[in-house]
């Protein structure tokens, strides 16, 4: 009984002591923000046809659909061209700032608003990649995805160094930008509430998130002891770790569902399923390459059976790190090939970003070190040093708020 109690207490401590997977969640943040940003920029010329008031999916049709499925989209608040351009610009800006890791708690919410608003306005414009971005945009709101590789992490590090020198009296005392941003969003949220644009469910969600931000700032500013901040950290870590578990389960569910449905298809059973999309003009940006691959029956058969085997087996390989890493590399390679051969770059980027949650921490640390060294070569520290100041090499990033805890999934 004592062993069970000790094991339970250790598990609770691990879940609440720190936000696990800081590098994995950072990669997810960067991957999905970059995918959505690149998609919006590429489709900028066609934004009117896809999501605008005069698109093929007319305003009245969108209104009837939203009224029926109760989907969230602020694009349906007005049919004016100015409002559409404003929302589209908000989606682009929030994706860019989330990619950079600036005010990630706030930007993750605005990123979710942008994704849901555009996708729910014209749901027939998307594909499987859009569905993944749709789900992950919601999950990211509950993660602490700015612990590393972000401007938030850099600001937190500089603040710690300043407090160590005695320059900052209290944590959060000089965060004027955050306070102004919180107040501005509160005014906008109040205006939307006043005109009745939000349903009761979304009203509770947004006001709850806004109140949590206020509580976080107030504790950092006014608390006389460390206990209130520790309590908030424990709650935030538990929520983060639960969201991270949901993201991992979602990725496994996507592959397991896709694999088991493929098994039931006759074309997947006889090994010819990959042959047919290679001969569709819509999925042939490089016809010569598609014809070359389709002309080799052995390759078609191996890719068809290999795809099914990898997708079905992957969720069961998580118990073995080495086998999991091999299949993970295979799936990422497969999505890269799909991006080139079938012309589905954003679907592939979204799936690779989802797969990144399973990347080993050691590999991501090395990746961060390579990026830091490359940045150091492009922007040598000595070029900006003061007279008599010693140049320092690039430093490996650290979690913004908690010490790193190993995450080996």
User: What pTM value is reported for the model?
Assistant: 0.89
pLDDT confidence of residue 53: 83
Answer with the residue of higher pLDDT: 170 or 19.
19
Q: Is residue 361 part of a domain?
A: yes
Look up residue 380 and give its two tokens. 């040598």
Q: For 221, list phi and psi in degrees, rounded to 5.
A: -90, -40
What is the average pLDDT value for the chain, to the nearest integer? 87
Q: Express each pLDDT in 258-299 by its tens digit.
A: 999 999 999 999 999 999 999 888 888 999 999 999 999 999
Query: For residue 53, which phi and psi values (nearest 5 degrees)?
Result: -60, -25
Would 184 be classed as within a structural domain?
no
What share of the chain has pLDDT > 70, as a percent? 90
**Closest CA relative to residue 193, chosen from 185, 212, 216, 181:** 185
The answer as to whether 95 is a domain residue is yes
Residue 249 pLDDT greater than 80, yes or no: yes
pLDDT of residue 373 exceeding 90: no
pLDDT class of 332 with cuts at 50, 70, 90: very high
Reported confidence tier of residue 18, pLDDT bands at 50, 70, 90: confident
- The more confident residue out of 185 and 126 is 185
The string of pLDDT tens digits covering residues 39-53 is 999 999 999 989 988
* pLDDT of 204 above 90: yes
Inside any domain, residue 290? yes
Averaged pLDDT for residues 320-344: 93
Average pLDDT over residues 301-318: 93
64 is in which domain, residue-wise? Answer: 12-154+198-371
The CB density around residue 319, as the number of other CB atoms within 10 Å, is: 8
DSSP 8-state secondary structure symbol assigned to residue 186 = H
The mean pLDDT value for 141-170 works out to 85
Can you tell me the mean pLDDT for 152-178? 75
The pLDDT assigned to 25 comes to: 96
Q: What is the pLDDT of residue 383?
A: 53
Q: What is the dihedral of CA 130, 135, 136, 142, to 10 degrees?
A: 160
Band of residue 156 on the pLDDT scale cut at 50, 70, 90? confident
Compute how many other C-beta atoms are within 10 angstroms of the C-beta atom of residue 83: 15
Q: Per the structure, how many domains does the chain have?
A: 1
DSSP secondary structure, 114-157, as one string:
HHHHHHHHSGGG--HHHHHHHHHHHHHTTS-TTSSSSHHHHHHH
- Mean pLDDT within 336-352: 94
Least confident of 20-29, 178-187, 368-377: 368-377
Taking 50 as the threshold, does the pLDDT of residue 389 lie above it? no
Measured CA to CA, the distance from residue 249 to residue 318 in angstroms comes to 11
- Is residue 387 included in any domain, yes or no? no
- pLDDT-derived band at 55, boundaries 50, 70, 90: confident
Q: What average pLDDT score do residues 156-168 get?
A: 80
Nearest to 87 by CA among 121, 57, 45, 60: 121
Q: Please tell me the predicted confidence (pLDDT) of residue 174.
A: 57
Which H or E run includes 357?
none
Band (341; pLDDT cuts 50, 70, 90): very high
Among the listed residues 317, 403, 385, the one whose alpha carbon sits nearest the alpha carbon of residue 355: 317
Q: Does residue 380 belong to any structural domain of this protein?
A: no
pLDDT tens-digit readout, 80-108: 999 999 999 999 999 999 999 999 999 99
Torsion over CA of 405, 328, 138 and 343, rounded to 10 degrees? 150
Determine, yes or no, domain membership for 232: yes
C-alpha span between 35 and 118 (Å, rounded) = 15
Q: Which two tokens stand for residue 172?
A: 């959060």
Q: Is residue 51 in a domain?
A: yes
- The pLDDT value recorded for residue 168 is 58
CB 234, CB 289: distance < 8 Å: no
pLDDT for 357 equals 95
At 381, the pLDDT band (50, 70, 90 cuts) reads: low
């Amino acid at each position: 009984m004592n062993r069970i109690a000790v094991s339970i207490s250790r598990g609770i401590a691990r879940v609440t002591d720190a936000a696990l997977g800081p590098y994995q969640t950072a990669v997810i943040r960067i991957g999905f923000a970059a995918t959505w940003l690149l998609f919006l920029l590429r489709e900028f010329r066609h934004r009117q046809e896809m999501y605008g008031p005069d698109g093929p999916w007319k305003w009245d049709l969108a209104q009837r659909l939203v009224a029926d499925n109760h989907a969230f989209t602020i694009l349906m608040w007005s049919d004016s061209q100015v409002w559409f351009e404003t929302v589209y610009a908000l989606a682009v800006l929030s994706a860019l700032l989330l990619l950079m890791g600036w005010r990630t708690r706030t930007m993750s919410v605005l990123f979710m608003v942008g994704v849901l608003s555009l996708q729910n306005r014209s749901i027939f414009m998307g594909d499987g990649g859009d569905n993944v971005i749709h789900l992950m945009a919601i999950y990211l709101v509950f993660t602490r995805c700015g612990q590393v590789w972000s401007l938030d992490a850099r600001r937190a590090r500089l603040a710690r160094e300043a407090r160590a020198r005695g320059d900052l009296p209290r944590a959060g005392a000089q965060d004027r930008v955050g306070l102004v941003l919180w107040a501005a969003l509160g005014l906008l949220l109040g205006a939307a509430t006043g005109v009745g644009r939000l349903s009761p469910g979304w009203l509770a969600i947004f006001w709850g998130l806004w109140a949590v931000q206020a509580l976080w700032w107030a504790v950092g500013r006014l608390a006389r002891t460390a206990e209130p901040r520790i309590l908030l950290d424990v709650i935030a870590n538990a929520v983060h770790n639960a969201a991270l578990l949901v993201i991992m389960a979602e990725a496994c569910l996507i592959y397991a569902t896709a694999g088991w449905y493929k098994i039931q298809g006759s074309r997947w059973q006889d090994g010819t399923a990959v042959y047919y999309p290679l001969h569709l003009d819509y999925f042939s940006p490089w016809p010569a390459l598609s014809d070359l691959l389709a002309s080799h029956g052995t390759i078609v058969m191996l890719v068809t059976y290999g795809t099914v085997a990898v997708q079905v087996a992957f969720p069961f390989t998580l118990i073995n790190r080495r086998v999991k890493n091999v299949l993970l590399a295979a799936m990422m390679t497969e999505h890269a090939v799909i991006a080139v051969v079938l012309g589905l770059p954003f679907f592939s980027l979204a799936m690779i970003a989802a797969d990144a949650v399973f990347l080993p921490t050691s590999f991501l640390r090395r990746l961060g070190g390579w990026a830091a060294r490359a940045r150091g070569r492009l922007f040598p520290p000595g070029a900006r040093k003061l007279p008599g100041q010693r140049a320092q090499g690039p430093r490996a990033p650290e979690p913004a708020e908690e010490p790193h805890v190993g995450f080996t999934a």
